[in-house]
């Protein structure tokens, strides 16, 4: 039971040194390059990064959904103390939907256009239990009500095209909830929606986490969403977790220069003639990663440091006001000390 897990210290999901690669004609793309990730029961965790940083590849790797030419090369994926990798299809089918559910970005393509909404939610229910169609339809109505679809009894027989984008995403969440998973991984669940629907969906996910004790991993590039939704944040760059930290600590005192740069580039009002900050350069090609810190060429601090160009960045770990912090940066210790000196308040 999820609420029991949330009280214990051992994580619900523990990923260690996970590596995922894709073989392409232009070389091997190292999409996930040794990721460690801990998710505790009932926790709301964010994974932030630009497109191509490996966020989605990480999520798919955890559920064994990487198809050739991609494969999980090494590592450990431990769910409630049981190892998932190397994958066993039968075990995975028990896990998928029942213990970990996935909500995709685009509810327009994730639903089958020629099946009724009720059938699709029912299918999720029936895949993990021997439930009759009639019983599944009834449960589907209950789930639809829970995710805030009014007149569910009437709408259960509608088709996806009769629903708006926000309502379809609610259906996807109902499908995810069908088997009472311990963990929902939501991959950019609101990117295809407008701001009002986005606020509603995030509110719904918050409620689910609070009422059912379901842990939620939210994958997004939007720092605004992370700030309002997550307890703990992992920042991903070039297939690595480059910083993780409690959400308040991350926004108040970003340790990694990449995190700081991301925070500075949020659109906002600026003075006449002034531009928004944008990170110079572009993310590295994951098929041609050389030595050194992958962010170094774009980094204000490390651009001209031979150490950053030639050696893998040092791992820095410390305890902050709000909880443990990790950053993969040669200057992390220095930057963190600076913050400690100034005390809590504003970053420098």
Binding piece for another protein, criterion CB under 8 A, among 1-9, 97-105, 137-145, 158-166: 158-166
**By CB under 8 A, residue 194 contacts another protein:** yes
The answer to the question of residue 207 lying near another protein (CB under 8 A) is no
77/103 with CB nearer another protein: 103
- Give yes or no for residue 288 binding another protein (CB under 8 A): no
Binding status of residue 196 toward another protein by CB under 8 A: yes
Please report how close the Cβ of residue 177 comes to another protein at its closest, in angstroms.
16
Q: Which stretch binds another protein (CB under 8 A): 56-64, 72-80, 82-90, 277-285?
A: 277-285
User: What mask, x for binding another protein by CB under 8 A, covers residues 213 to 232?
Assistant: --------xxxxxxxx----
Q: Would you say 110 and 52 are in contact if contact means Cβ atoms under 8 Å apart? A: no
Nearest-angstrom CA–CA distance, 238 and 49: 9
Q: Does 198 bind another protein (CB under 8 A)?
A: yes
Rounded-to-integer distance, Cα 240 and Cα 34, Å: 6
Distances from the Cα of 138 to the Cα of 98, 122, 156, 327, angstroms: 19, 9, 9, 48
Strand, helix or coil for residue 141? helix
CB of 195 to another protein, least distance (A): 4
Q: How far apart are CA 125 and CA 144, in angstroms?
A: 13
Please say which residue, 136 or 152, places its beta carbon nearer to another protein. 152
Scanning 191-256, the segments in alpha helix (DSSP H) are 195-212, 223-229, 247-252
Q: Is 159 in the site for another protein (CB under 8 A)?
A: no
Should residue 51 be labelled a site residue for another protein when binding is judged by CB under 8 A?
Answer: yes
The span from the CA of 286 to the CA of 39, in Å, is 26
* In the complex, minimum distance from the CB of residue 278 to another protein, in angstroms, rounded to a whole number: 4
Residues forming a β-bridge with 22: 29, 70
Minimum CB–partner distance for residue 192 and another protein (Å): 9
DSSP structure string for 70-113: EEEEEEEEEETTEE--S--HHHHHHHBTTTEEEE-S-HHHHS-T
Q: Is the dihedral of CA 161, 165, 169, 170 positive or negative?
A: negative
Contact in structure between 54 and 236 (CB atoms under 8 Å): yes
Size of the site for another protein (CB under 8 A): 55
Q: Which of 73, 92, 110, 199 binds another protein (CB under 8 A)?
A: 199
Binding mask 236-275 for another protein (x = CB under 8 A): -----------xx--xx--------xxxxxxxxxxxxxxx
Q: Is 277 in the site for another protein (CB under 8 A)?
A: yes
The residues near 74 (Cβ < 8 Å, ≥ 6 apart) are 17, 18, 19
In the bound state with another protein, the residue whose beta carbon lies nearer, of 77 and 339, is 339
278 touches another protein by CB under 8 A = yes
Nearest to 57 by CA among 80, 33, 81: 33
In eight-state DSSP terms, residue 343 is: -
Q: Which of 197, 214, 320, 330 binds another protein (CB under 8 A)?
A: 197
Residues that bind another protein (CB under 8 A): 50-52, 148-150, 164-167, 170, 194-200, 202-203, 221-228, 247-248, 251-252, 261-279, 282, 346-348
């Amino acid at each position: 039971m999820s609420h029991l897990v949330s009280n214990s210290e051992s994580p619900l999901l523990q990923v260690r040194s996970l590596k995922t690669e894709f073989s392409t004609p232009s070389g091997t793309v190292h999409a996930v390059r040794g990721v460690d990730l801990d998710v505790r029961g009932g926790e709301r965790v964010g994974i932030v990064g630009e497109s191509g940083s490996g966020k989605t590849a990480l999520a798919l790797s955890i559920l064994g959904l990487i198809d050739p030419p991609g494969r999980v090369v090494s590592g450990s994926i431990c769910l409630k103390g049981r190892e998932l990798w190397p994958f066993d299809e039968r075990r995975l089918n028990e896990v998928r939907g029942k213990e970990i559910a996935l909500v995709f970005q685009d509810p327009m393509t994730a639903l089958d256009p020629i099946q009724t909404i009720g059938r699709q939610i029912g299918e999720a229910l029936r895949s993990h239990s021997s439930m009759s169609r009639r019983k599944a339809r009834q449960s589907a109505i209950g789930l639809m009500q829970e995710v805030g679809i009014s007149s569910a009894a009437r709408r259960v027989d509608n088709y996806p095209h009769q629903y708006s984008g926000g309502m379809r995403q609610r259906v996807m969440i109902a499908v995810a909830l069908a088997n009472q998973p311990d963990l929902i991984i939501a991959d950019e669940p609101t990117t295809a929606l407008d701001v009002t629907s986005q606020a509603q969906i995030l509110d719904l996910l918050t409620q689910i986490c609070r009422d059912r004790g379901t842990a939620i991993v939210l994958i997004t590039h939007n720092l605004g969403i992370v700030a309002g939704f997550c307890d703990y944040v992992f920042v991903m760059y070039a297939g690595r977790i480059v910083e993780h930290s409690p959400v308040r600590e991350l926004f108040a005192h970003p340790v990694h220069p990449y995190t700081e740069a991301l925070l500075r580039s949020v659109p906002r009002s600026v003075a006449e003639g002034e531009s928004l900050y944008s990170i110079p350069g572009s993310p590295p090609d994951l098929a041609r990663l050389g030595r050194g810190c992958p962010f170094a060429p774009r980094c204000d601090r490390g651009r001209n440091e031979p150490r950053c160009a030639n050696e893998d960045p040092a791992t820095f770990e410390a305890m902050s006001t709000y909880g443990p912090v990790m950053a993969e940066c040669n200057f992390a210790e220095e930057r963190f000390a600076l913050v400690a000196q100034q005390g809590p308040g504003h970053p420098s």
